Amino acid sequence: MAFTGSLQKKFILQVSLAGGIIFLLVIAHVFVVFDIKRRNKNIQEMRSEAAFNQQATQSFVLLTEQEKQANKYSDFLNNILPARDDLIHFNQVLRDLASNYDASVGFVFGVESPSTETSPGSTSFRLTIDAPADKFSDFIEAFDTISYLVAFDSIEYSRLDSGFVRVQISGRVFTK
């Protein structure tokens, strides 16, 4: 029996040793699985952040290109719109234009609205034109070519007895 007792002790020792090794391997496996899951979560977060950064970079590039485009338009608009102080010449431009079509012009400036970040300034005006009926349409076509950006708010048209027409225009001239 001593032999079997020694064999039994060896068997129990080997089973205990194998069980301990298996237990340690299971514990190690659990730690490895949790570590892999944690790292996988970190990788997913990094991928998400990288995708966000890539999208932000693309948006920045697009906005930069659009800013360049907008600056071109802004420069164009700044060149097309006269400075507020240049409106002093507007009356004379209209008088010179009228003289080419045997017309007379009465002109008065009105209320000024200053420009803002998003819209140009404007000054209202009232214009009275007396012109020969047969030359009036030519005058209006020529008026369209002046270097001022103008919007008409109202137009009143009447025939005079002398073959002339009288047109009274209320409008706005835009400025920087």
Task: Kindly state whether residues 73 and 128 are assigned to the same domain.
Answer: no
Q: What's the CATH code of the domain at 96?
A: 3.30.70.60
Task: Kindly state whether residues 88 and 147 are assigned to the same domain.
Answer: yes
Query: What pLDDT is stored for residue 49 in this prediction?
Result: 93
Cα–Cα–Cα angle for 39, 41, 42, rounded to 5 degrees: 60
- Range of the structural domain that residue 4 is part of: 1-80
Task: Kindly state whether residues 129 and 75 are assigned to the same domain.
Answer: no
Low-confidence ranges of the chain (pLDDT < 70): 1-4
Helix (H) or strand (E) run with residue 173 in it? strand 164-175
First CA to last CA distance, the chain = 114
Query: What pLDDT is stored for residue 26 in this prediction?
Result: 92
Task: Kindly state whether residues 105 and 76 are assigned to the same domain.
Answer: no
Of 54, 80, 106, the residue at which a domain comes to its end is 80
Task: Kindly state whether residues 73 and 17 are assigned to the same domain.
Answer: yes
Query: What pLDDT is stored for residue 29 in this prediction?
Result: 93
Number of domains in the chain: 2
Q: Which residues contact 114 (CB under 8 A, 6 or more apart)?
A: 121
Of the chain, the percentage scoring pLDDT greater than 70 comes to 96
**What tens digit of pLDDT does each residue of 4-41 get?**
678 888 888 888 999 999 999 999 999 999 999 999 99
Query: What pLDDT is stored for residue 25 in this prediction?
Result: 92
Query: What pLDDT is stored for residue 10 in this prediction?
Result: 84
